[in-house]
Amino acid sequence: MLISSNFTPRSLAFQRSHSLAVQGESKAPEGPAESASPSSVPVRIRSLDPQAVAAVEQDLCQGEYVEGEVIVKLRPGQLNLFDDFASEYGGKVIEKFDIPSSIYKTFEGDLLRLKLPNGITTAEAIAAMKEDERVVYAESNDILHFTDDV
């Protein structure tokens, strides 16, 4: 998620004066990525219901996010198989968030930032991950803005 000093929920308008990016290029969604060949699309993505993807796209259109990235919370006990998890979606782990030990037990899981390959959209990945029992939640890497009015 990108940081804001004046956070407002996704469903409300964002103040557009400054933006802070957390590692990576920030941009508004530009629609689906270029098509990948059917053989290169992971099974978890290839077997998606188009209506599930459309529902996620509807939610994503309410705010800005980094297309091609997903923030994922995995259930505990994945034994550091993060790269295996990401590869099932054609992606790779670009960041594992360090959860302070004082809250790790109550957080109950691991938080990752995944980079998706060309041809797989954020909406497709989120829709597929909603069906994955290892996933607590999957969200877009939202771009939040702040104003100098503090």
pLDDT in tens, 82-132: 989 999 999 999 999 998 989 988 999 999 999 999 999 999 999 999 999
Q: List 142's β-bridge partners, or say none.
A: 65
CA distances from 137 to 109, 112, 113, 149 (A): 11, 11, 12, 33
Asked if 1 and 137 count as a contact pair (C-beta separation under 8 A), the reply is no
3-class DSSP assignment, residue 98: coil
The single-letter DSSP state of residue 40 is G
Task: Choose among 43, 37, 53: nearest CA to 119.
Answer: 37
Q: What is the pLDDT of residue 130?
A: 95
Name the E strands within 33-83.
65-74
Structure confidence at residue 25 as a pLDDT band (50, 70, 90): very low
Given 3.30.1380.20, 3.30.70.80, 1.10.238.10, 2.30.140.10, which CATH number is that of 19-146? 3.30.70.80
* Model pLDDT for residues 34-88, shown as the tens digit of each residue: 445 556 788 888 889 999 999 999 999 888 999 999 999 999 877 678 989 999 9
SS3 (DSSP) at 54: helix
pLDDT of amino acid 33: 42
Cα 131 to its chain centre, rounded Å, is 15
